[in-house]
Amino acid sequence: MSWSKLKQQLEGFLSPALHGRVEYRAPGYRYLPDKSGICYISVDKKNILNMSDKTNPIRWYQTELEIKNDPDIRIPITRDDIEAVRAGTKGPVPEDRLIVMARSRKSTGHAKVLMSAQAALCKSNFNAQANKFLTTPIEESLESDDILMNVLALVDKRVGKKRILGMAQKMELKHPVVRYFYELRRGT
């Protein structure tokens, strides 16, 4: 599908509150076929998401340790997580230590998922991902681990205000760029 048609379809799905604020832009490199996947998502004329550029105004993680130490990411610990740690330890362990161990295990797993999603975003072709988004049900796009699919779904008019407000806890575990678009949509 041509870029102009793809852009028109994506903008047709934009939430009415974001029309004129969110733009999809692709610089045209007529003689460089390897540049076809470059795309920017702009908010209020500012490039917010450039998939191959780490100098975005949104924080990009360089290591898993940065994710684990990010105060904006709150990992909820359930009783089942604590019991899994208890079962793996030999001997009595204080309850507060079990909570720390469970949080550490869960944050390590979460950090690996975020790092792989971030790496996949840098390697992906925007056009291919946008076409996939247009053919995928909106629920799958919202639940996906793919950052771009989450962003496109969050600015979609098929996702209502009530659903946006109900996603607050899930958004705490997402990449900062997904949280940015969530806050943008929540504020409209």
Pairwise CA distance, residues 134 & 177, whole Å: 20
- 72: helix, strand or coil: coil
66-105, pLDDT tens digit by residue? 888 888 788 888 899 988 888 888 778 888 898 889 988 8
1-37, pLDDT tens digit by residue? 777 888 899 999 999 999 999 998 876 555 555 554 5
Q: State the average pLDDT for the chain.
A: 83
- pTM for this entry: 0.75
Residue boundaries of the structural domains of the chain? 64-115
Tally of residues, the chain: 188
Pairwise CA distance, residues 150 & 127, whole Å: 15
Which amino acid type is present at position 158? R
Handedness of CA 174, 42, 24, 15 (dihedral sign): positive
The CA-based diameter of the chain, rounded to the nearest angstrom, is: 67
Tally of CB atoms within 10 A around 141: 22
- 59: helix, strand or coil: coil
